[in-house]
Structure 1
Amino acid sequence: MSDDVSTRRAGVVVVGAGIGGLATALRLAPMPVTVLSAAFLGEGVASAWAQGGIAAACGDDDHPGLHADDTIAAAGGIADPAIVDVVTRAAPGCIDDLVALGVRFDRDAAGRLRLGREGGHHRHRIVHAAGDATGGEIMRALLAAARAAPSITLVEAAIAEEILVEDGRLQGVIARCGGSAVLFTADAVVLATGGLGGLYRHTSNPVTARGRGVALAARAGAVLADLEFVQFHPTALDIGRDPMPLVTEAVRGEGAVLVDDAGLPIMSGLHPLADLAPRDVVARAVWRKRQAGGRVYLDARAAVGAAFPERFPTVTAACRAAGIDPVAAPIPVAPAAHYHMGGVAVDIDGRSTLPGLWAVGEVAATGLHGANRLASNSLLEALVFANRLADDIKGTPPDAARRAPRPRLTLGMDVDESAAMLRLRHRMDTCVGVERDASGLRLAIDDIGSLRRTAASGTLADAALVAELVATAALRRCETRGGHCRVDHPDAAPAARSRLTLRDIAPAKTKDRVKEVVS
């Protein structure tokens, strides 16, 4: 990278061009917005891969209060009821907004929205598009609108490297654009960078999803929350691919059953909702079968049968590419890191603890999901908070005390598939995965910490920072709650029924070490 840094005045900078980032940029109109996309637009974002739909109480037998009840029930006792109420009430309106934008949702013969059901839901309330390609269809519509919006500047292949803060005031974002450093000065920065599933060897996310937004926020001094809560999807296609193709939960919503090598249902008697139990319950059941030496399959032959290719074209294509016919044979599945409930701590309007910094989507910890996300609440959360934080930014006066910053350069961040990164991903799988214990977490902290200390900067340094923080939070929470399963503490602890923030993770005896991690 050149030592020269050019400067661009950006107004508002949105880091990330997934559903949360694009929806925010559109809502901010007519304010000038610059959207930084690390990849080419529409590529490398988990939003476009989303097979599941959007949960919204649109049915005649449904109500936002029932949706809220299911969200809280799945969340392990630490969801924020006020946030849950706001999001579930706004859900039907979000569907209307997307329809107006041109999103083509699936409908029945009468033209009504076709509503599916997924794990943890007691009603049919999941709105899909193209069967199992909801994220891609929403991204198509949002990208078309963003490209046509005169207030939005889209910058591709722009990798954010630093949120610049001087004297406690946010100044903007330094990004690498085609090998050159650019400082985008801004009155507001919105992180919409997605999750961290790519830190795990087995993931359904793009491998580039390694917590860059969390690292940016941590280095800038923003408070993080709920880092230990990683959701593992129980039905990733087990064919040896990296990342693992997802088999959407909607297949089980249609009646498909998880079975073992002998064809016996594995969820029978484990939960009242059986195969539609919350994801943490199902993922652990699949994990334990595999740990015992067996394999697990999703059998949709009786429930879906010949209609499978029409109902689930994306899953069908992935299966057939691996020589599997889901119409005639069970589908091999395994758990995979899928969604991070934690991230940058934000309030009801998406504000972080760092003035001038907002966060939306998976990078944000809003309190909606608690310890375990309810299926199809993620796209919904991104859309609701995109509206809220955009309106909040519009109502926030520019910081009159902002002054011309002095940029500092960092090294470039490329996709890192080095031996060190593979070692990190393997360690996260084995020690900070579906089931955890103190000895494994300490091993992960020591091993990943050594990687962080030897990494100069860039992708490995940021990935190791985030991975070490997740492991540290998981060690600190000595209980099992939602997606966080401690086999050495198998029960929920009433005294731990609260959220952990970065400050909580740093008790006096480990303060110096954790301070080093986030310095």
Structure 2
Amino acid sequence: MTGGSSVSSFKKVIVVGSGIAALSFARTISDNCQVIMMTKNQYSSSNSMLAQGGIASAFSAHDSVEKHMQDTLVAGCDHQDLKTVLDVLRRGKELVKQLVEEGCPFDNDEDGILQLGKEGAHSTERILHAGGDQTGKTLVQFLKKQLGSHIHLYENHHVIDLLVNEGKCFGVVWKDEKGHTHTMTADAVVLSTGGCGSLYETNTNAPSATGDGIMMAYRAGAQLVDLEFVQFHPTLLTIDGKAVGLISEAVRGEGAYLEDETGRRIMARIHPQVDLAPRDVVARAIYNEQEAGHQIYLNIKGIPHFSTRFPTIYALCQQAGIDIRSGRLPVSPGMHFLMGGIMVNEHGETAVQSLFAIGEAACTGLHGANRLASNSLLEGLVSGNKAARRIEQMPKRHVKVPSVEIQEVWQVPDISKTKLRHLMTKYAAIVRHQKGLQALLAELEHVSFQPINVKDITNEQVELLNCWSLAICMAKSALLRTESRGGHYRTDYPKREDAFWRGKQIIHEKDQVQIMKNERIGVNWNVYS
């Protein structure tokens, strides 16, 4: 199969994904660009739609961007790009203010003033919510309604690979609902495909989060970075050892606390912020208690009107057969967010010309080693907005699109998703160590492969290949980082080692992995100059 030629007089952009970052991009881009949004399922199946928590922004009189920045740096264990943190928080505040002015239905108090909540590692109330615990869904629906006629959304269009020639991305390979393979060319491609929660047995992600965009970018020549930093949300509602849904951190922000079967508060002597400590701290505390044989509960007795304040969580409890009048919800940690991803510059540009990455698929330098609660929706708004502005500035190149052969035969690993998730959960989850990570790599690298023609490969096989490849990269990163920092905790290296590791990142580039100093601050990666 081959790509065709482009003769249009306006820019054509393909956006892969349909979450907050993709919608922010689409609502920002001017109408002299034709935007094709492609999502492998329905637009509503993104992680953004599941986001119960809110969006963080320094709105109150006693708050400031500088305080928000300090909380972000502390939560991220000083592994961030300082310039990016400040820029995202400043721009994000303006974009949230714009949403408020446009009538986005954020929750207000009885006087009509924005209702601000508090979540883990925040020093003050700065979390805006919508629909109580339906912020992501509300934002997605609000932004989708604002899309112009130049935005075309196609569901059940599964992008499986990128078209690249001489270091430039010029389109995608995709499959339709019937499994037929197609190509589409464009002036730029934007990956907004989310993270990789499906790599773990217990996770908060949509099933579609299989690391697709991350591995497509890697195969195309982009760099991956910080893959060892995986955030586990502390409180998933858990019945008989099986997670059935997320309990937002906002519940603890309203006064709920963690206790064991005897009523002992487990965070009392762990951290000064107690139950609102950074997520990595709380998740490890629960893990350690469970390893010691304790059952962990979230005590919600002190929250009045729980059913109206958290309608989604209340409905979840009803479906699970839990009577909230008991005041205790059984919880366990689960994989929530990947801090690492595709390395990008301040505009979302990757090392591959005309290829952008935004949202969770990208590693912008905002989150560091551990994401501050409710900073992800903010990052999605900003990264989508900035990528759109950048692409608008790109010169239109009236050149014939090269005709190239797409990869005809794929090598699919002979391993089940069930086994892959089991291995990642056992060896590369909340607590890691060298022996376990080496065992994980040995299992992953010694699988056999089944050659399958691209015409016959299924969506599930593509996802499996992406998950398997990404798992290897994550395991190698976790082995190389010989310290504990944020979401990466090793029992054989339990301390944070700033003398060697401060600012250093583990970067994957075309089957090579190396430790490099983070020198992104002040660097302008202008791949179009």
Is the shorter-chain TM-score for this pair beyond 0.5, marking a shared fold? yes
Specify which of 430, 443, 446 is matched with residue 434 of structure 1: 430
Distance 2:310 2:76 in 1: 28
Distance 1:460 1:348 in 2: 31
| Deviation of 1:260 (Å) | 0.8
For 2:508, give the aligned amino acid.
L
Matches within 5 A, 1:446-457: 446-451=442-447, 453=449, 456=452
For 2:188, give the aligned amino acid.
A
Distance 1:376 1:253 in 2: 12
Distance 2:451 2:445 in 1: 10
| Deviation of 1:450 (Å) | 3.2
| Deviation of 1:403 (Å) | 2.5
Matches within 5 A, 1:68-79: 68-79=69-80
Task: Structure 1 unaligned segments of length 5 or more: list them.
Answer: 510-519
Matches within 5 A, 1:218-233: 218-233=218-233
Distance 1:413 1:247 in 2: 39
Tell me which moved more, 162-171 or 187-196: 162-171
Give the aligned partner of residue 381 of structure 1. Answer: 379
Q: In the alignment, is residue 420 of structure 1 matched against residue 416 of structure 2?
A: yes
Distance 1:300 1:69 in 2: 29
| Deviation of 1:407 (Å) | 4.0
Name the structure with the higher strand share: 2
Give the aligned partner of residue 193 of structure 1. Answer: 193
Distance 1:227 1:95 in 2: 29
Distance 2:124 2:479 in 1: 36
For 1:107, give the aligned amino acid.
N
Distance 1:424 1:214 in 2: 18
8 Å contact 1:19–1:139 — kept in the other structure? Answer: yes
Q: In the alignment, is residue 155 of structure 1 matched against residue 151 of structure 2?
A: no
Distance 1:27 1:468 in 2: 36
Matches within 5 A, 1:288-367: 288-301=288-301, 303-305=302-304, 307-367=305-365
Q: Structure 1 399/467 Cα, relative in aligned 2: closer, same or farther at 3 Å?
A: farther
Q: Structure 1 408/58 Cα, relative in aligned 2: closer, same or farther at 3 Å?
A: same
Q: In the alignment, is residue 271 of structure 1 matched against residue 271 of structure 2?
A: yes
Q: Structure 1 325/346 Cα, relative in aligned 2: closer, same or farther at 3 Å?
A: same
Q: Structure 1 113/350 Cα, relative in aligned 2: closer, same or farther at 3 Å?
A: same
Q: Structure 1 508/419 Cα, relative in aligned 2: closer, same or farther at 3 Å?
A: closer
Distance 2:60 2:330 in 1: 33
| Deviation of 1:244 (Å) | 3.8
8 Å contact 1:12–1:32 — kept in the other structure? Answer: yes
Specify which of 482, 485, 497 is matched with residue 486 of structure 2: 482
| Deviation of 1:448 (Å) | 2.1
| Deviation of 1:501 (Å) | 1.2
Instruction: Please give the secondary structure, in 1, of the residue aligned with 2:172.
Output: strand
Q: Structure 1 175/242 Cα, relative in aligned 2: closer, same or farther at 3 Å?
A: farther
8 Å contact 1:202–1:244 — kept in the other structure? Answer: no
Instruction: Please give the secondary structure, in 1, of the residue aligned with 2:67.
Output: helix
Report how many residues are paired: 500
For 1:362, give the aligned amino acid.
E
8 Å contact 1:480–1:490 — kept in the other structure? Answer: yes
8 Å contact 2:4–2:403 — kept in the other structure? Answer: no
Which runs of 4 or more aligned residues in structure 1 lie more than 3 Å from their structure 2 counterparts after TM superposition? 3-10, 240-244, 398-402, 409-414, 450-457, 503-509
For 1:36, give the aligned amino acid.
M
8 Å contact 1:132–1:313 — kept in the other structure? Answer: yes
Q: Structure 1 446/381 Cα, relative in aligned 2: closer, same or farther at 3 Å?
A: same
Matches within 5 A, 1:31-430: 31-42=33-44, 44-146=45-147, 149-178=148-177, 179-239=179-239, 244-301=244-301, 303-305=302-304, 307-399=305-397, 403-409=401-407, 420-430=416-426
Instruction: Please give the secondary structure, in 2, of the residue aligned with 1:344.
Output: strand
Distance 1:388 1:471 in 2: 32
| Deviation of 1:404 (Å) | 2.8
Q: Structure 1 329/7 Cα, relative in aligned 2: closer, same or farther at 3 Å?
A: farther
| Deviation of 1:241 (Å) | 8.4
For 1:34, give the aligned amino acid.
I
Tell me which moved more, 97-106 or 359-368: 97-106
8 Å contact 1:40–1:157 — kept in the other structure? Answer: yes
8 Å contact 1:16–1:191 — kept in the other structure? Answer: yes
* Percent identity of equivalent pairs: 38
Q: Structure 1 454/396 Cα, relative in aligned 2: closer, same or farther at 3 Å?
A: same
| Deviation of 1:103 (Å) | 2.0
| Deviation of 1:409 (Å) | 5.0
| Deviation of 1:142 (Å) | 1.6
For 1:443, give the aligned amino acid.
A
Give the aligned partner of residue 500 of structure 1. Answer: 506
Q: Structure 1 4/88 Cα, relative in aligned 2: closer, same or farther at 3 Å?
A: closer
Give the aligned partner of residue 516 of structure 1. Answer: none
Q: What is the RMSD of the two structures over their aligned residues, measured on CA atoms?
A: 2.4
Name the structure with the higher helix share: 1
Distance 2:204 2:411 in 1: 22
8 Å contact 1:7–1:182 — kept in the other structure? Answer: no
Distance 1:200 1:458 in 2: 17
Tell me which moved more, 326-335 or 364-373: 326-335
TM-score (norm 2): 0.90
Distance 1:499 1:508 in 2: 8
Instruction: Please give the secondary structure, in 2, of the residue aligned with 1:97.
Output: helix
Distance 1:170 1:504 in 2: 16
Distance 1:143 1:245 in 2: 25
